[in-house]
A and B are shown apart, each in its own frame.
Chain A
Amino acid sequence: MESVKLPAKFALKNGVEVLVRDMVRADEPAVFEFFRLLPLEDRHFLRNDVTDPIRVHNFMIDDTHDRVRAVVAELDGRIVASAEIDRNHFGSMTHIGQLRVIIARELQHQGLGTILSRLLIADGVNAGIEKVLAETSTENKAAMLALEKMRFRKEATLKLHVKDLAGRKHDLAVYSYDVSHIWDKMEALVADYSPMREY
């Protein structure tokens, strides 16, 4: 998959055009503001308390060095979405990519999550990732449908795994998109056995 050259503009379902570009360190105040304005219920399922400037700073500098790529979407100079694909840089799961996408309420259900996900999946494949994982609450039917449209497959439902703001437990769906077949073809091609084989 060839990576999309950024920055690039994308039209959403509602006709709004957003600018998608790589996230840079100078975005820290704007990213912090974006996270701060997210409704509490959207922030609640994130890994970090994004209202804490230190947490946002660590996110920006990629303190784990696991990031493959992080992008933001801008509308009228404001950040309206943040997305990243991470991988472990050591160990048995370096071939697994974890996809994380957060969209501002005003632009949810407009196809922006799909645009950002496709873009990051291509980057993941180009970095040698064989399987992309995404997680969502089973309450989020729109996210589940979007993942399924992108050919993600539900691998598991972790029962009563996440808690909402009121302390109620919900199921978490784990989706995966296996792209290893792409690299299997390349492996067959470099086998130096018969270059005439079909792939």
Chain B
Amino acid sequence: MSRSEIRVGGLGGQGVILCGTIIGKAASIYDHKHSGMIQSFGPEARGSSCSAQVILSDEVIGYPYVRNLDVLVAMSNDACHKFLPELKKDGVLLYEEELVSFPEGTRPAKAWGIPATRFAEELGRKLVLNIVMVGFFAGVTGLVSRQAAEAAVRDSVPAGTEGLNLKAFARGYEYGRELVGGAA
């Protein structure tokens, strides 16, 4: 059985929950696997710590919480250092490199950073940084296919914003593929 446990963490207003939702939707609806998501967010709409636990599996998911974290997607410094201890030894860390820093010698071996906020701003809207992260996740890990993730993005964002969101996805995906040495 193939089971992948993912945690997306960041601040309210960064689209953490939507990022997790899209990953799960891509896997279950468009890649025909199983997925589950547990979300946690503070009472404020913006600024509070929030996270999503996403499980992807080839089989029916009996337990929807993270036990052995395979991939941590960190969009803020606090979220990164809060959840990093959960990451298993050979787990993958994907982080917003302009918001996350590591004390000397604490950066995990399998860690890839992306300036997602800057990319989103360059594309025209800072609020698509979470979609850049979805693309980065798909590009680096390959846990969801590009086609499935794009379909999930298109399906999850408000009508009229699909174009910019898909550009944001492509920016993150291609950056991720380049980092891991794969063709975009």
Interface residues of A (CB under 8 A from B): 1-3, 122-123, 125-129, 179, 182-183, 185-187, 189-193, 195, 199
Contacts known (A195-B18, A195-B39); A190 close to B127, Cβ less than 8 A: yes
**B162 nearest in chain A by CB position:** A2
The answer on a CB contact under 8 Å between B13 and A191 is: yes
The answer on a CB contact under 8 Å between A193 and B12 is: yes
Minimum CB–CB distance for B50 against chain A, Å: 5
Contacts known (A1-B162, A195-B18); A126 close to B124, Cβ less than 8 A: yes
Residue among A1, A187, A189 making CB contact with B160, cutoff 8 Å: A1
The answer on a CB contact under 8 Å between B41 and A186 is: no
The 9 tightest CB contacts between A and B, nearest first, are: A128-B124, A190-B15, A126-B163, A185-B158, A182-B160, A192-B12, A128-B125, A193-B45, A191-B45
Is residue B159 within 8 Å, beta carbon to beta carbon, of the partner chain?
yes
The count of residues in chain B whose C-beta lies closer than 8 Å to any C-beta of chain A is: 34
Contacts known (A128-B125, A183-B125, A186-B158); A195 close to B164, Cβ less than 8 A: no
**B16 nearest in chain A by CB position:** A192
Is residue B35 within 8 Å, beta carbon to beta carbon, of the partner chain?
no
Is residue B28 within 8 Å, beta carbon to beta carbon, of the partner chain?
no
Minimum CB–CB distance for B9 against chain A, Å: 11
Residue among B15, B44, B125 making CB contact with A189, cutoff 8 Å: B15
Q: List 22 A–B pairs whose Cβ atoms lie within 8 Å, in order of A's numbering.
A: A122-B163, A125-B160, A125-B164, A126-B164, A126-B167, A127-B164, A129-B124, A182-B158, A182-B159, A182-B161, A183-B125, A183-B127, A186-B157, A186-B161, A190-B15, A191-B12, A191-B13, A192-B10, A193-B41, A193-B44, A195-B18, A195-B21
